Amino acid sequence: MQWPVKILLIHPKAPFLKKDKLTIAADCAVLSNNELSSRFKKGETVIIGCPLLEDPDRVMNKLELVMKETTANNIEVYTMEVPCCHAIHMMTMRAIKNSGKSNVDAKYYIVRVASGKIEPYLPGRIDASMIEAERRAHGPLH
């Protein structure tokens, strides 16, 4: 089993980053969707982080180091649908671009809060479900 799993704790040259596939996920996404949690249990490489509770600059810097060192050509990113979580998508896109690698097949997804269903991430799209999930999670704005 892979350890550590937190983006901020992994070493960019860790042996588990030398696989062809890498899953990057928000902490909550792994716990909210059985398919994602089973990947980790099966031994697939999964690294997780939280853009709300962790320093985004440190997460971004670590993702850039990981992208420069990983041999993964297939990268999948999963976050919760809430807008605060979408930073992981943007950070990963930027880290891949900054790595200079052109052979990376990256796919981006969201996990719906109510159903746990996985859907494609559409940059810049915020729907009513996302807003409601954000309100339930963090309360109304004052």
pLDDT at 87 over 80: yes
Q: In Å, how far are 12, 35, 84, 85 from 133, measured between CA atoms? A: 33, 21, 11, 11
Report pLDDT for 141.
62
Confidence band (pLDDT; 50, 70, 90) for 140? low
Domains with residue ranges and CATH for the chain: 15-138 (3.40.50)
Map 96-111 to HEC letters: HHHHCCCCCEEEEEEE
Q: Which H or E element spans position 80?
A: strand 74-80
* Average pLDDT estimate for 79-93: 93
Cα first-last separation, the chain: 44
Place of tokens 């909550």: 28
* Average pLDDT estimate for 15-24: 96
**Average model confidence (pLDDT) across the chain:** 91
If one counts every other C-beta atom within 10 angstroms of the C-beta of residue 52, the result is 16
Contact 93, 106 (CB under 8 A): yes
42 backbone dihedrals φ, ψ, rounded to 5°: -80, -5
